[in-house]
Structure 1
Amino acid sequence: MQSLLVLYMTHWLLQPEHIGQVWGLRALERALGNGDMHQSPQKLASYIFGLYAGLAYLTPIIGGAIADRWVGKTRAVIAGAVMMTMGHIFMAFDQTFLIALLFLLLGLGAFRSNHAGQIGALYPAGDERRADGFQLYMFGVQIAGILAPLVCGSLGQNVAWRWGFTAAGVGMTIGLIVYVAGLGTIPVNSAARAGNQPIQLTRHDVRNIVILILLLPVLTLTQLGNQQTFNAYLIWGEANYDLMLFGHALPITWLLSFGAVVSTVVMGLSVAFWRAWARKRPEPSELAKLTIGATFSALAPLALAIATRNAGGPHHVGLGWALAFHVLNNIGFAHSLPVALALYSRMAPRGTCGTMIALCYLHLFAANLLVGWLGGMYEPASAVSFWLWHAGLIAAAAIVLFFVWLVLGGEFASTPQKLTERATAIRSSFEAIAE
């Protein structure tokens, strides 16, 4: 669904002949301070996308806390899946667009952190199969990331927008049925019992939480390039990439499937690389890998700036530049978000894993708000400076992370046993993909 959202708003929903049909949209514009009737559909679409994508990472904080303390992960996941299915159904109608986004946000809040948290519960502490379980789970996520833009994007762009969203709803329904059918294999969640016993935090726990909170603004900047791929990158790609292949124009959403394929290959190679590295020397710490990730992430939008500057006109950027962008971006992503999730989950005090994972996602809330604001400033004539801004902000984050690693690396020291568990978690999480 996300692969269609900005394109749907820009090319259809926010056009003058359709915008008045959307219930509550004018009120939302006024609330955002963007009530100008003459602003471009792309600018408004970017603002709405940024707000939606940001809230999609904020609501899991509430969902994770509710699951940890009261309802349990299983019931939260089921409720979230049902609400997301309803949201996709509402997306098929222009009038209920904002209602659809509300249901999707509520569903994501209940689903996102709790679903991932259930994977670890399948294995006892110290079980080496935990890494394999996460790899299988993330492999499924990768396959979905490849197929969804192909199916939903093709239907949405070539047939009708509503059919693309309907296909997403059908996929969500099938996933919910499979999940419910397999409930007997999932351990019983003890959240209700935990909710009656206040979580006790030690001074060490509080110190770790404070450090992780202070890292959030820096991590926010590292994700600007990756999160922009669902927003202004698609608009830029429509105007600049040469999408003709064997005499046929490729749907722009296929770029996201292309990126997912590149992501699968790159992250598989990353896993192999670090396993080979670990046979001879210790793996870098999480902070070191975050620094590596931010450095590569900064190079990705820099490649787009160079491609735009060298292009002779519209549709003159070859797909080789798309390959370069996605390779650099996914090397960066493999060493940023998955590593951050591994760090936050490892340092979570007992009984707060769901909440801490959701806290980690908070930097993506801020990143998407910033992405929406930056995307609203995009204009084809200033595309070079647009991507240079992204590269510069991410590079600044890389520099900060480097110094944080030098100064605070000792604060994250682990026992040998915990170090092994951390390395395993990081390797398994490299299979993750940006949403």
Structure 2
Amino acid sequence: MQLEPETNIKNAVQNADGTAFIGHPKGLGFIVFTEAWERFSFYGMQALLVLYMATHLFLPEHSGNVAGFGAFQSFLESIFGPMSTQALASQTFGIYVGLVYFSPVIGGYLGDRFIGQHAAVMIGAMLMAIGHFLMAFEVSFLVALLFLIAGSGFLKGNLAAQVGQLYEASDQRRDAGYTIYNFSINVGAAIAPLVCGTLGELYGWHYGFGIAGIGMLVGLAIYVAGSRHLPKSKITSETIAARKLKKEDFAPIFVILIMLAITSLYWTAQAQVWNVYPLWIKDEVNRLIFGFEVPVTWFQSLDFMFVLAAAPLVLWFWRRQNKLGNEPQDSIKIAIGCLIFGLAFMMLVIGEMTSSDAGIHMFWPFIFHCICGTGFLYIGPVAMSFISRVAPASVNSMMIGSYYLAIFIGGFGSGWLGQLYETMAPQWFWLIHGGIVSSGAVLIVLLKPFMDKMARAE
């Protein structure tokens, strides 16, 4: 099975600078730093979003400033029924996250078939920069979300696909390349809440959103500077004809869709960390340290910091397993990650059960994020590498874009579940999420023989 489009382009890039960036092609370095700044802007805005909506923008005294808000609220309540401010904010966030991670499927298709991955990334970065700056104004809030959704669609799948195109199909550095790529995501995401979140939460929402826009422009500048080191696919009638699906391509696509459905259970739980979780931190956790109240957004930074801390250890552990001949297959790694993440939610349950009059001790969300970081490493980069390897060449970017379909489903799921937060005890709310993500491991064990037979890739 051919796994990558434009082999001649890859060979040119590979031979020119095959080990120029920590043992990887030079182009990976530019992609990594582009992605780090893009994630800085994205997660900087996202760290503020639910807090901004639930405690400021959607309150009656401010919501009238938002163009189209009345029609938007009426539309949502016609589907979900009357909602409190918190429920409306959670549902809006769920829809936004869902669409942000659905749009890369469309953007990936356009990159594969019409404009090429390079042009798609450029368009996406510019749209996202506009969206971030529009977030600084209350009146353009809903329009800003639309720009961010469209920009993410063009950028995410096509940028991730370019990582795979830097390597030959047989190059064993591919998994490490995607792990470095995901490492850059978490660097940007870890710094973002500390900078954008602190400015927005303590000094003014619009300062936080404005800094996020500047970060996106920096990412775009880095991408442009490294253009000559990146694979560029020229779309012609011949390449489109060569990329038609073959009969044998449908089985691996079906396997990818099964894996996406399973990983959406993980993303349903993970998306809640961006959704209701900040409100829970604000209301339930004692955030005082020697008289200083820790900003809510800093806790989201912990989520990514622990990924960075755990990554070298997890990579070392996998290399050791590989040398011993017992490194798990990708699907088993993902199952392990689901169990680890389910365990993390038990820390929130225990925190609720041991709460005092002063609130929940910060130890529990701290250990929660510590465990989450390891769980992500067994799921996020592994699933992306799995799709890159299994997906047919004709729809490689689109299928890598489909990785985000799992987050699309998870985003909508977290939005729907977020409405339950005000109606049940928090420990039950978090226990439900732990059960959802843990069920992914059970499904993988049950379906693995079938998936292995269909994919013939592991």
Q: What is the TM-score with the length of structure 1 in the denominator?
A: 0.90
Tell me which of 219, 239, 245 is aligned to 1:175: 219
Question: Is the contact between residue 226 and residue 333 of structure 1 (CA under 8 Å) also seen in structure 2?
Answer: no
RMSD: 2.1
How far apart, CA to CA, are the structure 2 residues paired with 1:404 and 1:367?
A: 21
Match of 2:379 among 322, 336, 342: 336
| CA distance in structure 2 between the partners assigned to 1:233 and 1:137 by the alignment | 26
**SS at 1:42's partner residue?**
helix
The verdict on how the C-alpha distance between 1:411 and 1:42 changes in structure 2, with shifts beyond 3 A counting, is same
Q: Structure 2: which amino acid aligns with 1:272?
A: W
Question: Contact 2:303–2:372 at 8 Å: present in 1 too?
Answer: no
CA distance in 1, matches of 2:111, 2:136: 30
Matches within 5 A, 1:176-191: 176-191=220-235
Structure 2 CA distance, aligned partners of 1:364 and 1:90?
24
Q: What amino acid does structure 2 have at the position aligned with 1:66? A: L
Mapped partners of 1:46, 1:175: distance in 2: 29
Check if 1:59 corresponds to 2:84. Answer: no
Do residues 368 (structure 1) and 411 (structure 2) align?
yes
Deviation at 1:358, TM superposition (A): 1.4
Q: How does 1:24-423 map to 2 (within 5 A)?
A: 24-33=68-77, 39-128=83-172, 130=174, 133-192=177-236, 196-197=240-241, 199-313=243-357, 316-379=359-422, 382-414=425-457
Give the CA deviation at 1:127.
4.1
Q: Cα 1:50–1:289, aligned 2, differ >3 Å: closer, same or farther?
A: same
Q: Distance in 2 between matches of 1:215 and 1:234?
A: 29
- 1:284 is paired with a residue whose SS is coil
Q: Is the 8 A contact 1:66 1:72 kept in 2?
A: yes
Q: Which moved more, 1:36-45 or 1:380-389?
A: 36-45
**Cα distance in structure 1, aligned partners of 2:171 and 2:304:** 30
Q: Name the count of aligned residue pairs.
A: 414
- How many Å separate the matches in 2 of 1:204 and 1:133? 28
Map Cα deviations across residues 89-125 of structure 1 (whole Å, 9 max, x no partner). 1100111000000000000000001111112323444
CA distance in 1 between counterparts of 2:425 and 2:157 reads 38
CA distance in 1, matches of 2:347, 2:133: 38
- 5+ residue gaps, structure 2, are 1-44
- Farther-moved stretch of structure 1 (224-233 vs 28-37): 28-37
CA deviations 1:20-50 (Å, max 9, x no partner) are 1111122112222359997422111000000
- The alpha-carbon deviation at position 193 of structure 1 amounts to 5.0
- In 2: Cα distance, 1:316 partner to 1:185 partner: 53
Q: Which stretch of structure 1 is more off in the superposition, 257-266 or 73-82?
A: 257-266
Q: Contact between 2:165 and 2:231, CA under 8 Å: does it hold in 1?
A: yes
TM-score by structure 2 length? 0.85
SS in 2 for 1:223: helix
Distance 1:407 1:189 in 2: 35
Counterpart for residue 18 of structure 2: none
Structure 1 CA distance for aligned equivalents of residues 81 and 446 of structure 2: 46
Deviates more, 1:376-385 or 1:146-155: 376-385
Q: Specify the SS of the correspondent of 1:219.
A: helix
1:266-317 Cα deviation digits (max 9, x unpaired)? 222111111111111232112211211111121122221121122124x522
Q: Is the 8 A contact 2:117 2:232 kept in 1?
A: no
Contact 2:278 2:296 in 1 (8 A): yes
Q: In structure 2, do the counterparts of structure 1 residues 155 and 210 end up closer, same or farther at CA, with 3 Å as the change threshold?
A: same
**CA offsets per residue over residues 292-348 of structure 1, 9 Å max, x none?**
1111121122221121122124x5222221222112222222122322212211111
Distance change >3 Å, CA 343–CA 42, structure 1 → 2: same
Q: Secondary structure at the match of 1:352?
A: helix
Counterparts of 1:64 and 1:74, CA distance in 2: 11
CA distance in 2, matches of 1:370, 1:320: 28
2:9 corresponds in structure 1 to: none
1:402 to partner: Cα distance: 1.4
- Residue by residue over 1:242-280, the C-alpha shift from the partner in whole angstroms, topping out at 9 and shown as x without a partner, is 211232111110011122111111222111111111111
Are 1:142 and 1:264, in contact at CA under 8 Å, matched by a contact in 2?
Answer: yes
User: Which amino acid letter does the alignment assign opposite residue 269 of structure 2?
Assistant: G
Describe the superposition over 1:197-253 as per-residue Cα deviations: whole angstroms up to 9, x where unpaired.
153333332112123223333221122221111111111111122211232111110
Provide, for residues 358-386 of structure 1, a one-character-per-residue CA deviation record: whole Å limited to 9, x for no partner: 12211111110010111121128611111
Q: Measure, in 2, the Cα distance between the counterparts of 1:211 and 1:262.
A: 31
CA distance in 2, matches of 1:126, 1:365: 31
Does the CA contact (< 8 Å) of 1:267 and 1:334 recur in 2? yes
Counterparts in 2 of 1:126 and 1:232: CA distance versus 1, 3 Å: same
Inter-partner Cα distance in structure 1 for 2:191 and 2:371:
22
2:446 aligned counterpart, secondary structure: helix
What amino acid is the match of 1:378?
Y
| Paired residue secondary structure (2:421) | coil
Determine the C-alpha separation between the residues in 2 that align with 1:169 and 1:356: 28
What residue in structure 2 maps to residue 429 of structure 1?
none
CA distance in 2, matches of 1:278, 1:399: 24
Match of 2:383, SS? helix
Partner deviation per Cα, 1:395-433 (whole Å, 9 max, x = no partner)? 22221111112444344444xxxx6xxxxxxxxxxxxxx
Moved more, 167-176 or 195-204: 195-204
Matched, 1:23 2:71: no
Identity level (%):
35
Provide the C-alpha distance between the structure 2 equivalents of 1:271 and 1:323, rounded to a whole number of angstroms. Answer: 23
1:196 positional shift: 3.4
